[in-house]
Amino acid sequence: MQTPFIIEQNDHQLIGSKADITYEISFEHATRHCISIRMIIANNTSSTIIAKSPVWIPGSYKVRDMNAHQHAVTIHEVNGNPLEWKWLSKHVMEIHNTSKSDIVIAYEYYANDKGVRTSHVNRNHAFIMPVACLMYVEGRMEEIHHVRIDAGHCEWKHITTALSPVDQSDNPQIPTFGALNYHILIDSPIEVGNHRCSSFEVAGAKHEIALIGQESVDMDWINGEIKRAVEIQHQFWGDLPYDRYVFFLMIGEGLRGGLEHLRCNVSAVEPSAFLDRTSAQGMMALLVHEFFHTWNVKRIRPIELGPFNYEEENYTTMLWLAEGWTSYYDDLLSYRSGFYSRDEYLSVLAQAHLGKLARVPGRFAMSLKDSSFLAWTKLYAVSPDQHNQFPSYYTKGGIVALLLDLLIIAKSDGKHKLEHALRAMWEKYKVDGQKGFTEDDIIAIIETTCNVSIKQEFDAWHNGIEELPYQSIFDQIGLEWKEHQAHAPQEWYGDFRPFHPKNPHIFFGSVISEDYGRLFVREVEKNSPADKAGIGIDDEIIAVNGKRVSTRIMLINALQSQGIKQPAELIAQCDGRMYETKVQLIPAISYSLKISDTITNKQERLLEYWLNA
Ligand SMILES: [Zn+2]
């Protein structure tokens, strides 16, 4: 019989609990970015212990070998007698414990990688990602695990984690936290430091916010915005699957992205996220996205994603469900939460979803399902040629979710939408959460719940590489999807007026980086003017029409002034050899999604049904 995969935990379950596997974590060497870890394994029944480190992080589909940062390993009995042990592979150790004593695996973990999926410690704080630095004992993952945090060396006031407190006293010297099993443990990051904290309640569940970073942020404002997002999702799903939930929000230069967990999420933004409306909207959409995962992927999940095999790739063709659908609903629910106006939401769909995919030639090269399956080597590898090779399952998966939603709305004449199917999947999870969903399960749930047939379109959109049928779907609800010739900005102030105002905004088709007065090509879009001119990735662009260009703005100015009537003459170099080429620029395209001026009553009814809860 398969071991039950338990992922739900309430705080009251761990109070006063006992554990035979305990990690003692301290920070004596925080200034050199090291976490000291003692893993105590008691109640051993075998003379051989196999201890392992995960090689990947659920939610981030790439083998990362996080234990590369583990060092200074010593293994001994609790009374100090050293034990014989050896590495069996890069992440597996075998320990000989003939007397079956309680043992200690002590090691340091170099944690100097700031981000949502890595551990980081310095003199100011420690962010611990257990999956990156805590080992497990083969055959004992389902036991209760405890973590003791000793921050005695540091003047740190707070510990925030979704792990449950074990201590019965309110203010223990070295607090202990617990998880019902290893799966929950490694899904629960811990922040120790002087971060800012706040909390609110929705539907009887406590929500905590831990603001990590040195920025001054209006806590009341962020508290209010996040609370609104939680209320909207509570309404969307019908209930909340936890007693307590933590939002970790990291703020720092160069930080971005998020990672979902069962009872918390970690989101990271640049300090500029708070500077203007558009940036703050992006931040709120990120928080909505990670929170949506509490249901979609942490619980409603592709069948291959849980129980996890932490030792190798866990392949699935269904990341369009996990990430695509979440990418669609993050913006729709941001609109319903009031973070976007209606026009802003349609504009985000046009630019950040539809327009973004339109700039990806790889959508004609690989299906959505293959893009998901190959995530392990494609998505996070970030090849400069990535967009020519494959469509991200985030972007294309989100657009397919949008089209599916509108298709269901049109076919059911405004009686059903995709969220009804999600809600049905949530109800099914609550009855039996052991098993994930197959693609056939999802098609069947949509067709039964929404009383429409969608299999033909579903198959074509997930397996095919043809352009998606935007306009025929948008027509049903009175939306117009258009490509426009983009115009260069007409108004400039002061001395800086770089573009020829009469020329249309031009399209070159490459990403250029500046490096101390030299311009290097970082990406080239297939079939773009740059590609047709033979300009390759890593080439250096030196001059346009006989004039030296040494900044990106000089290059843009030169190309923009050239316009589209005649080709521009470029001097470039590849591998140290100079070459000349002619590039025929074309007008840049921008995209819009607008409500039609001639929208009918029926279309308007369906449009309102789509947008509103
Ligand atoms: Zn996501």
Q: What is the 3-state secondary structure of 592-604?
A: EEEECCCCCHHHH
The DSSP bridge partners found for residue 34 are 110
Mean pLDDT across the stretch 494-520?
A: 77
Is the pLDDT confidence value at 489 over 70? no
Q: Give the pLDDT score at 382.
A: 74
Q: Give the pLDDT score at 81.
A: 97
Q: Give the pLDDT score at 381.
A: 74
Mean pLDDT across the stretch 180-185?
A: 98
Q: 481 alpha carbon to ligand 1 midpoint, in Å?
A: 26
- The mean predicted confidence, pLDDT, of the chain is 94
Nearest-angstrom CA–CA distance, 504 and 171: 66
Handedness of CA 187, 191, 192, 198 (dihedral sign): negative
Nearest-angstrom CA–CA distance, 107 and 75: 9
Q: 293 alpha carbon to ligand 1 midpoint, in Å?
A: 7
> What tokens does 201 get?
């309640």
In CATH, which of 3.40.50.970, 2.30.42.10, 1.20.58.100, 3.40.50.300 is domain 506-587?
2.30.42.10
What confidence tens digit (pLDDT) does each residue in 117-162 have? 999 999 999 999 999 999 999 999 999 999 999 998 788 999 999 9
DSSP string over 335-385: HHTTSS-HHHHHHHIIIIIIIHHHT-GGGGTS-HHHHHHTHHHHTTT--TT
In CATH, which of 2.60.40.1250, 2.60.40.3650, 3.40.720.10, 3.40.640.10 is domain 11-194?
2.60.40.3650
- Alpha helix positions (H), 143-276: 182-185, 219-237
- Nearest to residue 26, comparing CAs of 173, 243, 185, 218? 173
- Alpha helix positions (H), 186-303: 219-237, 277-292
Q: 397 alpha carbon to ligand 1 midpoint, in Å?
A: 11
- Nearest to residue 291, comparing CAs of 241, 230, 249, 250? 230
- What is the DSSP secondary structure assignment for residue 485, as one 8-state letter? E
Q: 294 alpha carbon to ligand 1 midpoint, in Å?
A: 10
Nearest-angstrom CA–CA distance, 399 and 457: 13
Q: Give the pLDDT score at 502.
A: 59
How many angstroms separate the first and last alpha carbons of the chain? Answer: 42
Nearest-angstrom CA–CA distance, 523 and 520: 9
Q: 322 alpha carbon to ligand 1 midpoint, in Å?
A: 7
Other C-beta atoms closer than 10 Å to the C-beta of 65 total: 13
Q: 334 alpha carbon to ligand 1 midpoint, in Å?
A: 15
Q: Are 483 and 471 in contact (CB under 8 A)?
A: no
What confidence tens digit (pLDDT) does each residue in 407-443 have? 999 999 999 999 999 999 999 999 998 889 999 999 9
Ion ligand 1 contact residues with beta carbon within 5 A? 323, 326
- Alpha helix positions (H), 432-587: 439-450, 455-463, 470-475, 529-532, 552-562
pLDDT-derived band of residue 496, with 50, 70 and 90 as boundaries? very low
Q: Which of 62-71, 167-176, 361-370, 446-455 has the lowest mean pLDDT?
A: 167-176
Other C-beta atoms closer than 10 Å to the C-beta of 247 total: 24
pLDDT-derived band of residue 219, with 50, 70 and 90 as boundaries? very high
Q: 298 alpha carbon to ligand 1 midpoint, in Å?
A: 10
Q: How far is CA 400 from CA 125, 418, 473, in A?
A: 41, 11, 11
Is the pLDDT confidence value at 188 over 60? yes
pLDDT-derived band of residue 171, with 50, 70 and 90 as boundaries? confident
Topology (CATH level 3) of domain 295-477+604-613: Neutral Protease; domain 2 (1.10.390)
What confidence tens digit (pLDDT) does each residue in 20-43 have? 999 999 999 999 999 999 999 999
H or E element, residue 400: helix 395-411
The domains spanning 195-284 and 295-477+604-613 adopt the same CATH topology: yes
The answer to whether domain 195-284 has CATH 1.10.390.10 is yes
Identify how many contiguous H helices and E strands the chain contains and give both numbers: 19, 32
Where do the domains of the chain lie? 11-194, 195-284, 295-477+604-613, 506-587
Mean pLDDT across the stretch 532-557?
A: 96
Q: 188 alpha carbon to ligand 1 midpoint, in Å?
A: 17
pTM of the model: 0.95
Nearest-angstrom CA–CA distance, 299 and 188: 15
Counting residues of the chain whose pLDDT is more than 70, the rounded percentage is 97
Q: 152 alpha carbon to ligand 1 midpoint, in Å?
A: 36
Other C-beta atoms closer than 10 Å to the C-beta of 575 total: 8
Q: 420 alpha carbon to ligand 1 midpoint, in Å?
A: 21
Q: 287 alpha carbon to ligand 1 midpoint, in Å?
A: 10
